[in-house]
Amino acid sequence: MKRLVTVTGPVAAAQMDGYLIEERLLDHIMIQVIDKGGGNLEIAFDERDRCYLSQFSAEQLAEWLQEAMLHVEAACPLETHDGKAAWIAELAPPKARASIKAMRPARQEHDLPAGLEFLRRT
């Protein structure tokens, strides 16, 4: 299960600079990575950049977001809103309790059928 984490633990959101996707056009345009829980991550452009991004087609924006998801999954540098380094970690789900029950004690001598006495523990 994928989670956004920092050195202090899990976080709900991080961001990356669009420069990594399209150097000139997306420089200083922040792409948000939001942890929706259950290993689901959502990627979107920051709301403050909507006016600038409105000059591009929806197809182009979707292509950039798809490329951003590939960068995020490849461990590109992320940061929280307050500037702390963040990354995606693969956290294993908690292990289910073992369903194996303890063995019963060894059988007594009289429990063995005739012909299987050689199985007795001595």
**Could you report the per-residue pLDDT of 7-59, keeping only the tens digit for each?**
888 899 999 999 989 888 999 999 999 988 888 889 999 999 999 999 999 99
User: What residues are paired with 45 via a beta bridge?
Assistant: 31
- At 48-79, the pLDDT tens digits run 999 999 999 999 999 999 999 999 888 888 99
In the numeric block, which tokens belong to residue 17?
A: 């600079």
CA angle 92, 98, 101 (to 5 degrees): 170
Residue 118: beta bridge partners?
A: none
**Which tokens belong to 10?**
């899990």
Please indicate, yes or no, whether the overall pTM of this predicted structure exceeds 0.85.
no
